[in-house]
Chain A
């Protein structure tokens, strides 16, 4: 059979958050809904696999969670002889019950990946794999509901940040949406 196959692993977890690259001075930030080339490269390095060909991300809903953040640097208060950090409030729109499908080119890669956890952009949000590797044709993978960024420049592409693994070059991609990516699986 000459048809190209994907070896697909499905990851799930309670929370997921991907910070948009433009969020730098925010009081409210929603999660980004797709992976960028640099996120995929980060996951690839973490899993120790050859390559990740495609991804598909869906979730139950966005939940706005308020948290307290701290500044990067200390302020020295000479009089009171102490160093403090400025605090600020951030409302973060977090994905609940994210489901991420990753497509690998070989069964070995997929099996290796199916034994490890991953996280999207916060290392406390752990996603765990189903221990089963799905063998799918490209058409079958394309039916999975969710968001995906198809990497590369095109007239409908948007700039999604700078790639730390590629000398900080701008990254581009086209957002693809299949089926009903949000709230298809009701909570509970």
Chain B
């Protein structure tokens, strides 16, 4: 399966890097086994494998060096002589034709070599675990070698932490890739200058690694590899999940992140790239994002923005006005704005929306609310739910600001040709810019008073 393909790729890459001639089986027995299974706590869980069985029996038979070596021998025996099945060929089918999933198996008779089976273990250890219980395999030299380099640190970390639970290699990979792709990462001095995220169960005292947010992993990848990457998304357990090949449009995503970093840096000095990435929360879970067919700008829709956008349930919430310069709403609004800008991807439209927001402020004039009756018009406008309403309500502004006639005309013609899916985004952007302008005005007048 695909895990086998990637496992073999890793061994090839390592042979090229270290000028060695290791076979996949050599690598499995000497390096991989030693690191992953030659300890009382294993790094990887392979459901129903010999290692899994021994681990479950460790109460009766402690996992001594001798026991572990015997288990390895028994596992070799199976791999060399038995027909591969899912219990030791990772990503493989169930053993019997009477299994409920047997209908999914092809009728092509594929000779699966022991080499391929060994490779499948190594490949599965390269899956990057993300929130939502899915793993991502990435066929990229830098990613594969980085993950491989991280394995030994997982063992080191586990040795340091006696209550750390075993079997979390995929979760580790998620943390390691975000850590190793940091700007300030220096593997030579201290790979743990940033500690892995660990949570401790109060009752049992058992510590476990925390799964990384999917968008955090995507941002880390985007930072180092700004090109489209075809990833493979899956999960292996009693039963598997195959999402399949999903392209991650890292270049588009990194542009959003860089723009956001630039904007937020103006707001809060000294904000690092990683901090900005960590502030970002998405609306969609990873599986939902994969349903979009590719992970691009659309997939990283910020959390809760939808509540403000017009939709089936009406015109959406109004944006609250930030209280002061320190208000965290500013950051949220910048995230919203940057994402909408990237989605609309229309420089002219964005400039126009800025100008419109300024005009709306002029019309409603929140400093003398109610005196001129303009604020109702503006409220109505920002509560529009569709294209027709929006154009019609723009038209009503003409009486208030006759001199802005050409601009209103321009905006109406742009709205008329805008794709349907962009309308709610544009309305949300108008509302947002309006709220921001309003905040600027009220804070400056309160200062003047």
Cβ contacts under 8 Å, A31 to chain B: 244
With A30-B244, A158-B245, A186-B420: A24-B104 Cβ-Cβ less than 8 Å: yes
Supposing A24-B92, A26-B242 touch, asked if A69 and B101 sit within 8 A by C-beta, the answer is yes
Task: Say if the beta carbon of B156 comes within 8 Å of chain A.
Answer: no
B104 pairs with A93, CB closer than 8 A: no
Residue count of chain A within 8 Å CB distance of chain B: 47
Instruction: Check B98 for interface membership: any CB of A closer than 8 A.
Output: yes
Set A30, A62, A177: member contacting B247, Cβ < 8 A: A177
A26-B93 contact in complex given A70-B100, A177-B294, A181-B293, C-beta closer than 8 Å:
no
Report the separation of the CA atoms of residues A59 and B291 in the bound assembly, to the nearest whole angstrom.
11
Q: A159 with B100: in contact, given A33-B293, A72-B105 (CB under 8 Å)? A: no
Instruction: Assess whether B86 is in contact with A29, with CB atoms less than 8 Å apart.
Output: no
Are B240 and A27 closer than 8 Å at their CB atoms? yes
CB of A156 closer than 8 Å to a CB of B: yes
Taking a contact as CB atoms under 8 Å apart, the answer to whether A86 and B100 are in contact is yes
Bound form: Cα–Cα A86–B100 in Å: 5
Within 8 A of B (CB), among A19-44: 19-34
CB atoms of B93 and A24 under 8 A apart: yes
Say yes or no for B448: interface residue by CB 8 A criterion.
no
Q: Closest Cβ of chain B: how far from A176's Cβ, in Å? A: 9
Binary A-proximity of B282-300 (CB < 8 A = 1, otherwise 0): 0000000011111000000
Residues of B within 8 A of A151 (CB): none
Interface centre among B92, B102, B245, B290 (most CB of A within 10 A): B245
* Cα A87 to Cα B102 with chains together (Å): 10
Binary contact track A66-102/B, C-beta < 8 Å → 1, others 0: 0001111111000000000111101001000000000
B contact residues, total (Cβ < 8 Å): 43
CB distance from A46 to the nearest CB of B (A): 18
- Given contacts A32-B244, A32-B245, A175-B230, A25 and B239 within 8 Å (CB-CB): yes
**A162 and B110 form a contact (CB under 8 A):** yes
Smallest Cβ distance from B103 to chain A, in angstroms?
5
How far does the alpha carbon of A6 sit from the alpha carbon of B232 in the complex, in Å?
Answer: 32
Q: At the interface, is chain A mostly helix, strand, loop or mixed?
A: strand
Query: B98 contacts which chain A residues (CB < 8 A)?
Result: 71-75, 85-86
Whether A93 contacts B291 by the Cβ 8 Å rule is yes
Partner of B241, one of A27, A75, A186: A27
Q: Which B residues touch A117, using CB under 8 A? A: none
Any A CB within 8 A of the CB of B66:
no
- Distance in angstroms between the alpha carbons of A175 and B102 in the assembled complex: 29
Query: Is B1 engaged at the interface, CB distance under 8 Å to the other chain?
Result: yes
B235-271 interface (Cβ within 8 A of A):
239-245, 247, 249
**Known pairs A24-B92, A26-B241, A177-B247. 19 more at Cβ < 8 A?**
A22-B234, A23-B240, A23-B242, A23-B244, A24-B91, A25-B101, A29-B242, A33-B244, A61-B291, A71-B100, A86-B100, A158-B232, A159-B2, A162-B110, A174-B230, A175-B245, A177-B228, A177-B293, A182-B291
Selected A-B contacts with CB under 8 Å, 6 pairs? A22-B244, A24-B105, A30-B244, A177-B247, A182-B292, A182-B294
> Residues of A at under 8 Å CB distance from B?
19-34, 59, 61-62, 69-75, 85-88, 90, 93, 147, 156, 158-160, 162, 164, 168, 174-175, 177, 181-183, 186
